[in-house]
């Protein structure tokens, strides 16, 4: 079957979606339903390209985490990636010499993401991909836990429980690598940073309608919080050493050690 023939159902589907007023085009052919953004359906195939244009220093964050896990990669150890999406970061970590004898487990709540991640990591013997949400994961014995833009999608009322589970499960001296989109400390800086972020997305090829529609699609799905609130939460659940290792506009990477 030719590529042209294979694409006909997808084109017909996109045309049908374009006629549905509930659906929004957020760029890169990703079309969520109204305010219910989802990582399911056709999103996984387009995810890496889309998110690298949407999140500043996305690839650099992957590289930074790959370096950081070297401090926690004990022989026979365990590293857990919560919200592993397409498995790109896990594959990068698995390629490191220091992680050859470390078990890497990736979790994602979306079955379609799990399928893509399993395909990407199929030849990596120390990588396992499972379907599950962060409140159902067994973190016991983990040397490091990665949450790369994941916690922001958990309802705020569940975040204390999730972070407590992670901290309790980590071995003594284990690390959490938590990357999040944040709110700024006051209304003036929030407005300035929000405009700078919009310009970042415009420079990466998104048009104003796509930027608005993406924000609209995330209304009931994502709830960022202030950086200070995240740091306070991590202290409350038992992390003893917390520092920011990456920051650009709204986007922050935190290293927290038990």
Domain ranges of the chain: 58-184+221-257
Question: Are 170 and 142 contacting, i.e. CB atoms less than 8 angstroms apart?
Answer: yes
CB neighbour list of residue 145: distance below 8 Å, 6 or more residues apart:
79, 80, 81, 82, 139, 166, 169, 170, 174, 175, 176, 177
**Dihedral angle at the C-alpha atoms of 80, 111, 53, 153, nearest 10 degrees?**
-70
Give the CATH architecture of domain 58-184+221-257: 3-Layer(aba) Sandwich (3.40)
Per-residue pLDDT 10s for the chain (258 aa) are 333 333 333 334 434 444 444 444 444 444 444 444 444 455 555 667 878 889 999 999 999 999 999 999 999 999 999 999 999 999 999 999 999 999 999 999 999 999 999 999 999 999 999 999 999 999 999 999 999 999 999 999 999 999 999 999 999 999 999 999 999 999 999 999 999 999 999 999 988 888 888 888 888 889 999 999 999 999 999 999 999 999 999 999 999 999
pTM over 0.85: no
Closest by CA to 116, choosing from 43, 217, 218, is 43
Closest by CA to 51, choosing from 177, 150, 126, 141, is 150
CA distance 25 to 75: 46
Question: Are 223 and 151 contacting, i.e. CB atoms less than 8 angstroms apart?
Answer: no
In the chain, what are the helix, strand and coil shares in percent, each to the nearest 5? 45, 20, 35
């Amino acid at each position: 079957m030719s590529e042209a023939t294979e694409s006909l159902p997808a084109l017909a589907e996109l045309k049908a979606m374009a006629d549905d007023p509930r659906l929004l085009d957020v760029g890169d052919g990703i079309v969520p339903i109204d305010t219910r953004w989802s990582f399911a359906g056709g999103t996984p195939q387009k995810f890496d390209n889309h998110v690298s244009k949407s999140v500043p220093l996305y690839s650099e964050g992957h590289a930074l985490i790959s370096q950081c896990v070297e401090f926690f990669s004990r022989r026979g150890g365990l590293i857990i990636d919560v919200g592993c999406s397409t498995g790109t970061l896990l594959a990068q970590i698995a390629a490191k010499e220091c992680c050859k004898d470390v078990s890497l487990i990736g979790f994602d709540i979306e079955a379609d993401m799990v399928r893509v991640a399993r395909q990407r990591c199929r030849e990596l013997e120390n990588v396992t991909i499972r379907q599950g949400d962060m409140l159902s994961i067994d973190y016991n014995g983990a040397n490091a836990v990665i949450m790369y833009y994941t916690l922001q999608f958990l309802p705020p009322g569940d975040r204390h429980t999730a972070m407590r589970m992670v901290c309790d499960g980590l071995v003594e001296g284990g690390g959490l690598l938590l990357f999040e989109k944040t709110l700024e400390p006051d209304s003036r800086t929030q407005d300035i940073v929000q405009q700078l972020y919009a310009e970042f997305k415009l420079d990466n090829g998104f048009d104003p309608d796509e930027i608005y529609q993406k924000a609209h699609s995330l209304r009931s799905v994502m709830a960022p919080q202030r950086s200070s609130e995240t740091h306070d939460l991590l202290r409350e659940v038992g992390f003893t050493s917390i520092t920011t290792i990456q920051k650009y506009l709204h986007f922050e990477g935190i290293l927290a050690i038990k």
